[in-house]
Amino acid sequence: MRWKIKTNPDLQKVKELATTLGVEIPVAKLLVQRGIETFEEAKSFFRPNLVNLHDPFLMKDMVLAVDRIQLAFSKQENIMVYGDYDVDGTTAVALMYSYLLTDYKQVTTYIPDRYKEGYGVSYMGIDFASDNDITLIIALDCGIKAINKVAYAKKKGIDFIICDHHRPGDKIPEAVAVLDPKREDCKYPYDELCGCGVGFKLIQALAIKKGQDFEELIPYLDLVATAIAADIVPMTGENRILAYHGLKVINANPRSGIKAIIQQLDKKQLTITDVVFVIAPRINAAGRMKHGLNAVELLSEKNLVKAIDFAAAIEKNNVDRKKLDKKITEEALAQIIENKEEDNYTSVVYQEDWHKGVIGIVASRLIETHYRPTLVFTKSGDKLAASARSVKGFDVYDALYECAEFIEQFGGHKYAAGLTLKLENYHKFKAKFEEVVKNSIPEALRTPEVQIDTELFLSEITPKFYRIINQMAPFGPHNMHPVFMARGLRDNGYGKRVGSDQSHLKLNIFSGADSKTYNSIGFGLGDKFSMVKSGKSFEAAFNVGENYWNGITSLQLLLKDIREEELC
C-alpha cells in the first residue's frame, strides 16, 4: 500500500484558526486542509444550515419544469414518476411520488425491470405510459442521454421532465425540461447533487411556487441523505447540508420504510456509514434480486406494520444477494487465473448466467484482490451488459469513451459506469480496454493508496479530540474521515492475530517513554504481525474510533496500515 501524506497547510493560517476556535493545532490543520480558514467558514461547516441551500430556480429549465407540472394538475393529466432501480433512483421516485400525492392523486410510479428493460428510460416504460393515458413522465436519476426515447414519447403525445445528475452527451434530449446541474449551459452553483438531490430541488421549487413553508419538506430529507450516502457523491456544499439534516430525520423521525429497516439495529445514533452499509444495501437488494418497485413501495408506505412486512421481504432479497455475489466473485477470480490475466492492467470477465443484479458488487469485490479498473459482464437479452468500477484517481468513464466503437450504450461516472455491447464485440472491446488503460494509467495508481491527513503524537488523542473529529461528520468524498499517522510505535507484548482465519491484527500500542497504551485493531493486517512481534518500532496510519466492550466505551485506533519505521 502507498502512503500519501497531504501537504501541510499554511502554518500561520493554522495557528490563527486554532486560536480563533480554541482548538488544538491538529484539528485546525484538518480544517484548513478542507478550505476552512475563518470562524464563519467553521461555523457553516460544523453547523450546516438549511438556509444556505441554493435557490432551485437557479437551475436551468426549473421554471419550465414547475410550469409543466402545474399545467398537468390544472388539466387533470396522468403523471408517471419514473426512476432507475438503484438506491438513488428508488429514493428519488419515492420522494417525488410522495410529494406530488400531497396535492394530486393522478400519479403513478414506474421502475424499469433490470433484466427486461435495463438501465434508464425504456421504450417499454413509454408504451406503458401511453397505454394508461399518461401524458407527463418525470424521470429521475436517468434520462440525460435518452434522446431517441424522449422523441419516441413525444410522438405518442407524452412530455418528459428529466431530473438527472449524470454527464450529458453531445446532445440534450428534447424534453419539456432537463434539470441536470452538469449541463454545460446550466449555471447552478453546485453540480455534485445526486439524482434524488435534483428531485428534491424540483419539489423545493414547487413548494416555493405555491407558497409552502420549507419546514414541510424536511421529512423528505431522510430519502435524500440515503441517496447521497449510497451514490457516493461529494460530501460538500448542498450535499453536506442535506445529508446532515437528513441524518437528523433518520435518527429522530424517519419514514415508516426506513424505520422498519433500522428498528432491528442495536444502535442509538446512525451515521452516514450505517446508511451506506445497513440501509442502502437493503434498498438496493430489491432492484437487484426482484424489482425496484418493491423498494419504492417500502419507502412510500406510511403504515409501519405494512412497512415491516415489505422490509422483511427485502431483507430476504438482501440475504440472497450476499450468497450470490460471493459465489460469482469466486467464479470471476477463478476465470482470471484460468485466463492467466493476473498481471493485466484490467480485469474484464464474462459469464452468461451471472446475475445482472450483483455484477456491480462483484466488480468492486474483484478490485479488492486485483487492484485495477474492472468490468463484469453477463448476458442481457441478445446483448452483453456490464458494470464497471475503477480505482482511485482513474476515470473509467473516459476509458470507456475511448472504446466507444465496440459499445452499444454506456453511461456513468468517473469511478462507476454501466454499458452494453454485442457478443461478437466482447473480445475486441476487452483488448481495446486493456490497451487504453495500459497506455493511460499512471503506475502509481496501480497500488492502493492510504491518504494521510496529518501526523499525530498518541498523547494528542483524547476524548475531547475525538468529539471534535466526530463533529466533522457526515463523512464522505472530499470530507473523508480523517486519517492520521504516528511514528515510533511499539506493541506492549499482548498483540495477536485474531479472526477465524487469523487475518486481523489486535494490538496495544504505545509510543516512546509514555506507558499509556492505545487499543488498536487492523482488519486484514494479520500478515503484519511478524513485524510487530520483532520488537522494531513501526509507523501506523489510522482513524480514531470507539470500542464498546462489557459496557465500557474507550477510544480505539482503527489501523489502515502499518510499516517499519522509516529512519530519517
Distance CA 30, CA 243 (A): 21
What type of residue is 293? L
Quick check: helix, strand or coil at residue 94? helix
Per-residue pLDDT tens over the stretch 242-260: 999 999 999 999 999 999 9
Q: Among 92-101, 313-322, 516-525, which is the least confidently predicted range?
A: 313-322
**Alpha-carbon gap, residue 156 to 162, rounded angstroms:** 17
Confidence of residue 287 (pLDDT cuts 50, 70, 90): confident
Mean pLDDT of the 125-137 span: 98
The chain-wide mean pLDDT, for the chain, equals: 94
- pLDDT at residue 519, rounded to an integer: 94
| Contact in structure between 342 and 358 (CB atoms under 8 Å) | no
Question: What average pLDDT does the segment 477-505 reach?
Answer: 93
* Cβ-defined contacts of 498-502 (< 8 Å, 24+): 498/526, 499/526, 501/526, 502/526
Q: Write down how long the chain is.
A: 568
Calpha distance 167→179 (Å, rounded): 12
pLDDT at position 568, please?
A: 52
452-474 b/e (C-beta count within 10 Å ≥ 16 → b): bbbebebeebeeebeebbeebbb
- Closest to 29 measured CA to CA, from 2, 48, 6: 6
Mean pLDDT across 278-300? 87
Average pLDDT value for residue range 226-255: 96
Residue 202 contacts residue 84 (beta carbons within 8 Å): no
φ, ψ (nearest 5 deg) of residue 515: -85, -10
CA distance 153 to 106: 19
| pLDDT the model gives residue 56 | 98
Give the C-alpha separation, 160 to 169, whole Å. Answer: 18
